[in-house]
């Protein structure tokens, strides 16, 4: 994999203002919305999570309201099986190729079958990423069951996306601690592009240290409104972390319009704002390239 932090293409892309890319979204299924882990998120998000199946037009309306042009749309797989299947996400991406790219998910308990499924998602739906949530499995990302998938991501040129920091659902937070777990992965797979979502709080400083240390480690701000970004992350974004931080919402728990509110108060200069809202994600997920949507 290519180091995506210092290429001329990345530099030029982040200098232009264009439609927002949301690095972490779900279009909810009825089955996903019925999961018990959402109970605490419903309490936190104060009514933004819908009940029952909702049409894709609802998600698109929320994106349009916030000026989000493209969303990285997640499948969800946990120990009980798929909650949002790869095919459900793939069909949405296929029907709306100018609005979504796919982040696949797989069964960690069966790594070889998971590799076959990941390759299928690339071939059938053009998946750009693999997303695994450590808290769903209670397995940190340096567990041996992830490692064949990291090798597959390098082979398929996919970005590995994960959650870092405490968990909103009532599950253990320790698997989301960046150091030592994600530190081990970045050290042993230097070519693997890694995006840690949810800012890493309360271990944001650890996540910043990894993004600074490793060329292919990045941070997204999903599950946080701009008014609640950790202070150290804002300082990092304003300084040497301009190329390392991506906007994410965590729709529908935190829709993009809510997450964008207060962004102006961060007083980001134009190149930083453009990189944060579009350029970094465009480069990491190959959006706007010959391989992907513009």
Give the residue numbers spanning the domain of 160: 8-284
Q: Residue 137 belongs to a domain with what CATH number? A: 3.20.20.140
Q: What is the pLDDT of residues 67-82, one digit of tens each?
A: 999 999 999 999 999 9
pTM equals 0.90
Strand spans (E) along the chain: 20-25, 68-74, 76-78, 81-84, 100-104, 129-132, 159-163, 194-197, 217-220, 245-246
Q: Are the C-beta atoms of residues 26 and 32 closer than 8 Å to each other? A: yes
278 occurs within a structural domain = yes
289 occurs within a structural domain = no
3 occurs within a structural domain = no
Residue 119: pLDDT above 50?
yes
Q: What is the pLDDT of residues 188-219, one digit of tens each?
A: 999 999 999 999 999 999 999 999 999 999 99
Name the band, by pLDDT with cuts 50, 70 and 90, for residue 171.
confident
- Number of structural domains found in the chain: 1
State mean pLDDT over 109-129.
97
Select from 246, 167, 242, 158 the least CA-distant residue to 200: 167
Q: Specify the pLDDT at position 36.
A: 75
State mean pLDDT over 261-289.
95
237 occurs within a structural domain = yes
């Amino acid at each position: 994999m290519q180091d995506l932090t210092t290429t001329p293409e990345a530099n030029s892309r982040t200098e232009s203002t264009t439609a927002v890319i949301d690095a972490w979204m779900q279009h909810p299924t009825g089955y996903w919305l019925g999961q018990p882990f959402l109970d605490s998120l419903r309490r936190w998000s104060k009514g933004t999570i819908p009940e029952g199946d909702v049409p894709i037009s609802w998600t698109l309306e929320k994106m349009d309201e916030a000026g989000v042009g493209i969303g990285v749309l997640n499948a969800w797989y946990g120990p009980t099986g798929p909650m949002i299947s790869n095919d459900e996400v793939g069909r949405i991406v296929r029907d709306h190729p100018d609005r979504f790219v796919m982040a696949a998910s797989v069964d960690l308990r069966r790594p070889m079958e998971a590799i076959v499924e990941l390759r299928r998602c690339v071939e059938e739906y053009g998946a750009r990423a693999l997303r695994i949530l450590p808290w769903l499995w209670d397995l940190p990302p340096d567990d041996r069951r992830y490692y064949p998938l990291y090798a597959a991501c390098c082979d398929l040129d996919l970005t590995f996306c994960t959650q870092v920091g405490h968990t909103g659902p009532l599950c253990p937070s320790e698997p989301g601690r960046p150091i030592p777990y994600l530190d081990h992965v970045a050290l042993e797979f230097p070519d693997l592009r890694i995006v840690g979502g949810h800012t890493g709080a309360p271990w944001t400083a650890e996540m910043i240290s990894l993004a600074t240390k490793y060329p292919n480690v990045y941070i997204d701000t999903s599950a946080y409104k701009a008014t609640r970004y950790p202070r150290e992350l804002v300082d990092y974004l304003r300084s040497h972390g301009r190329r390392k931080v991506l906007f994410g919402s965590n729709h529908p728990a935190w829709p993009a319009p809510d997450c964008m509110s207060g962004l102006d108060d961060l007083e980001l200069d134009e190149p930083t704002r453009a990189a944060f809202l579009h350029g970094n994600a465009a480069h990491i997920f190959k959006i706007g390239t010959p391989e992907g949507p513009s």
